Every structure is written in C-alpha cells, then in structure tokens.
Amino acid sequence: MPTTSTMDASTPPLDSFTDDNTPTTSSMNSTNTLFPLPPSHFLSQPRPSGIASPSSSNNVGVDTTTLAAHDFDVDPRTGFMPPHPPIARLGGVGGVGGENGENGEYGKYGMYEAWEGILDEACAGAFRLGRDIGTETGGKEERWRGRVRELPILSITPLLDSEPHLRRAHHVLAWILHFYIHTHQSGSGSEEEEVRIPPPITLPLLRVSREMHLPPLLTYSDDVLYNWAFTDPQNSESLRVLTSFTSTPDESHFYLTSARIELIGVRALGLMQYSLDELFVGDGIARKRITGFLGELAGVIGEMEGELGRMYGGCDVGVFYEEIRPWFQGESEEKRWVFEGIEGDPELEYPKELGGPSAGQSSLIHALDIFLGVEHQHHTSDTDPDSSFLSRMQLYMPRHHRNFLSHLREQSRRRSLRAWVLESQHDYNDSANPVPDTPLLNAYNSAVTALKKFRDAHIVLVARYIIGPAARARANEGQSQSDDSNRECQSDGKECESESEGKSNSNSKESNAEGERESETQVLKGTGGTHLARFLKSVRDNTRDAVIQ
C-alpha cells in the first residue's frame, strides 16, 4: 500500500480561507473538516458530454453548460486542488459517492472493480522496471500483464454524468497504463521498439480522456491534484497519497511536496484576484492597494520556494532517479506506444500528446507568469521544439483550469499589470500622480524576483535529482562529452544552491559538477519531453528579464 506522509502544520489546510473568500495567513483549527459541496457547486451539477480532443479544445470558449464557467474549478479555499478528497475507489470501497445500492454490491460503478483490482495488484506487487527484469520469463510482472490483457472492455457510460468519477477513471487507467508500459521487457539489441497497449486499457482510457479533454496517460493532475486522501478525516492537514509506483516514503513525499506548494499558492491566487479588481479602478487608492498585494505576493512565492526546498528532506536522490522517475516517462523515439483496438472506434483519435507528467503542468505557475507579464514565447524560435513547451503543457491540465488561464490571459490583454506599472513611472504630468510610483515598481519587481528565485531553486533541484545522476550514469557507460548549455545551467545551479542553502559538501559539489554535463549524442529530456537544462534556463532567464529596470 502507498506510504502515508503527513503534511506539516505550516501548510495551509484545505479550508484555510474564510467564508467571504478573504485570504488569511492563520490556519483554521486542525480539527475542522471540509465543508460538503453545496448543490450550487459545479461538481454537483449534471456533466456535459466531451465534444473535443485535448488538441482541439485548447482554444475553445468557456464551457457555459455548468457552473464551472463561473469558478473554473478553482476553489477560494484550495485553489487548483479539489475542495474535498478525490474519489478513492470507483466501486465505493474506501471512496465517496460509490455506496452500495440497487445496482449491485458497489452500485452502478461496481463493474469498475476490475480496474481497481488490477491497479491494487500493481501497487502492492513491488514491480520491477522492464529494464531490470531482463530476459526472465514467467515473473510476477509478466503474469500481471497477462491479466491486464484479459480484462473486459468496459463501457464508460455510467461515468459520464460525474466529473469526479471520470477523474478517478482517468487516474486508475493512466496508472495501469504506466505500470504496463514500464514493465515491458525490452527486446535484445533493438534500438527502437513498440509497446502494444491492449484494447481493455486502450479503449476506455481513450474514451475517458476524450471526455476529460486530457491526453491518455499520467498527468500532474493524476499524481498530485487528485492523488490524495486524509489520514485522519478530522484533521484537514493530514494527507497521504492514494497511488504510487514504489510504495516508498520518498515517492509520497515527492507528490505531497507539490501538493503543499499548490496549497500555499492559494493565497497567491487570491492576491492576484484582488490586484486585478483594483487594476480596473486604477486610481491612487488602487495603486497603494496593489503595491501591498504585490509585496504580499512576493512573500507567498518565497514560501513556495521554501516548500520546494523541503523536497531534500524526504526524497532521496538515488531512489528518485533510479526507482521513481522512470515510471513517469511518456512515449519516446526509442519506445513507441501502440494503442491496439483504436481502429475499431471511428470516434477516437490517435493520441498526439504523450509526454508524461511534469511540474510544467501546474496551472499555478502558469497563472503567476500570466499575471506578472512574464513572456516566454518571444525568446525562442518558432521552429524550436522547446519554444511551445509551456503552451503544450496546458493540454495536460484539467480543461477548466485551462479555461481559467485563458480567461486570465484575456484579462491581462485588456489591462496588463506590467504595462500599468510601466505607465505609472511616466505619468508625471498627472496631478494625481506627479512623481514616479517607486513603491509600486519595487513591489512589482519583488514579486517577479521572487518567482525568478523559485525557478533558481527548481534548477538546483533538477540538477541534484536528475541531471547529475544522468551524467554519472553516462560517465559509467564511457560517455564523457559535454554540452555547453548544460554546463551554463550547472553554473547557475551551483550559484543558486550556494545562496539558498549556504552550504556545500563534497557530494553536492560532485553532483553539481557533473549535474549539467550532457552528451552531445544523447540529449537529456524531462518527463514532459523537453530539452531539460536548456528549457529550465530559458524560462528562468525570461522571468529575470521581466524585472523593470
């Protein structure tokens, strides 16, 4: 079973907002439980049928058929996290909303116990990655894969009236998919190979993904946003993960660190909302209020950076790189995914986005970029495959969150915070603003700088957990050529580490010294598919460039 990891008391609880949606830095008593969803909440409403694929839904208008068009599934107490625990089991055992009823032992969702059971086996099985199985035959992984192929092809019709149940279905099927893909034993001597995904997984996963406007594989929402439960229902700060590949505390800590950052970011969303409200007024009082909000926002982003740094305390570098990260990988040129049975359903499209979960799929960070006016696209060539990475990552977000970002982007086009701050420095002839608004400028720059420091910290983390171990692994294989962009990222990473941690030792120096070297013949990519070091450095530099001089 997945290991329990408890969120510490410094983390804002899931009900850390007051009823009038005003942010507060003081948490409510830990014995408070989450409020039940009111009948007016969009998750309580009938759900419209999916009408577009993820690739075609990126630019569609806001869905007005449910109340999601009003709140974009962004809760004032929990942000992009759901306001109460995700469904833990489609059949109802250990979950919500699937109680026993007239339609069988587990109600109308009882037939999905077949999926839940096969996932239980994988999670409890301590499965090995295909690369570690070698040529062994008849192992537990192979037997499990055989049972997956023998599953019935289940209809998703009973799920269509419930967004939470569709979320759980995507979660379960995507985790089964990754277990199935990555327990595949590689063929001997073949540089390129195919992994064939059987129809019992292909067809329901593609159909659920079509309804959800999501790619048919693990996303950030599957392993962070909708992958938690309470260890104690009376304590809203006590969380554990629902599903993991390794059942290690390291993996649980990895997911819950991201969840804690999302919860800290709830206050950032509130401050952005208040700032935008004042921005449309734009008078002297609004300037003072926005100055205060931006100062608070810098502090919240600083707390997010601090939470990111706590990753080191609970997730071992070796365990993450060798045992956890390989399970996240999406399709690659070396390992193509073949979805069997898709040709039998003319309504299904062959997947184009199979990049795997990534922190780049966090709507919170995208929202901060949009609000602060941090531009990424103009710094790279349109022909560069990394240039549209952040835009592509929005295809992996829940569609209502995607619509939220579109709405925020449209608001920013109409009234840009950054442009307004710039204008405030030049309106000297306005009797209401006879001098440059230095406090406003400083507050804006402090928020942008805080976001840049957050990205500095992320570069250090990636250097420690991914790029360094990858470089050492290649060195052990006799590959020693280096890549200039990674060495530059490495240099930045060392500087950030020195500033943020104020310490060094021989191990960390060795990790960083090797951390950004990358073979010219083997480009290291993130789980989302981007050139890892180059992308991270570019995004960080774009954030730095948003500071107004």
State the residue range of the domain holding 509.
359-545
Q: d(Cα 353, Cα 346) in Å, to the nearest integer?
A: 19
**Helical H segments across 199-283, by residue range:** 199-212, 220, 249-264, 266-279
Q: In total, how many domains does the chain have?
A: 1
Q: Does 426 map to a domain?
A: yes
Q: d(Cα 240, Cα 152) in Å, to the nearest integer?
A: 31
Q: Does 434 map to a domain?
A: yes
> Does the CA dihedral 51-55-56-60 come out positive or negative?
positive
Q: What is the dihedral of CA 49, 55, 58, 61, to 10 degrees?
A: -40
**∠ Cα 508 511 517 (to 5°):** 145
Q: Does 30 map to a domain?
A: no
pLDDT computed for residue 236 by the predictor: 63
pLDDT computed for residue 478 by the predictor: 66
For 492, the token pair is 């930045």
Q: Does 35 map to a domain?
A: no
Size of the chain, expressed as the number of residues it contains: 549
Q: For the domain that residue 430 is a member of, what is the CATH number? A: 1.20.58
Q: Does 17 map to a domain?
A: no
What's the pLDDT tens digit per position in 176-188?
Answer: 999 999 999 876 5
Count Cα atoms within 13 angstroms, Cβ side, for 236.
22
For helices 484-501 and 284-309, what crossing angle results, to 10°?
A: 100
Q: d(Cα 369, Cα 72) in Å, to the nearest integer?
A: 18
* SS3 per-residue string spanning 501-528: HCCCCHHHHHHHHHHCCCCCCCCCECCC
Number of separate helices (H) and strands (E) present in the chain: 21, 4
pLDDT computed for residue 24 by the predictor: 37
Is the Cβ–Cβ distance between 58 and 76 less than 8 Å? no
Q: Does 267 map to a domain?
A: no
For helices 438-462 and 417-424, what crossing angle results, to 10°?
A: 140
* SS3 per-residue string spanning 278-318: HHCCCCHHHHHHHHHHHHHHHHHHHHHHHHHHHHHHCCCHH
Q: d(Cα 524, Cα 467) in Å, to the nearest integer?
A: 8
Helix/strand/coil for 433: strand
Q: d(Cα 133, Cα 147) in Å, to the nearest integer?
A: 18
Single-letter amino acid, residue 293: F
pTM comes to 0.80
What H or E segment, with its residue span, contains residue 419? helix 417-424
Q: d(Cα 241, Cα 307) in Å, to the nearest integer?
A: 18
pLDDT computed for residue 97 by the predictor: 38
Residue 227 buriedness (CB in 10 A; 0-12 / 13-18 / 19+) = buried
Q: Which residue has 């969803």 as its token pair? A: 37
Antiparallel, parallel or unpaired: β 239-241 and 228-230 = antiparallel
Query: Which parts of the chain register pLDDT below 70?
Result: 1-71, 92-107, 187-191, 236, 377-387, 427-437, 478-530
pLDDT computed for residue 381 by the predictor: 46
What's the pLDDT tens digit per position in 225-271?
Answer: 999 998 887 776 789 999 999 999 999 999 999 999 999 999 999 99
- Does residue 72 come out as left (phi exceeding 0), alpha (psi in the -120 to 50 range) or beta? left
Residues of the binding site for heme b: 458
| CB count in 10 Å sphere of residue 288 | 14
What does DSSP assign to residue 531?
Answer: B
Q: Does 417 map to a domain?
A: yes
Single-letter amino acid, residue 362: S
Is the Cβ–Cβ distance between 217 and 174 less than 8 Å? yes
Q: Does 430 map to a domain?
A: yes
Query: What are the backbone angles phi and psi of residue 328, rounded to the nearest 5°?
Result: -80, -20
Q: d(Cα 301, Cα 299) in Å, to the nearest integer?
A: 5
**Residue/partner pairs of 474-478 with CB below 8 Å, 24 or more apart:** 474/519, 474/522, 475/514
Is the Cβ–Cβ distance between 141 and 129 less than 8 Å? no
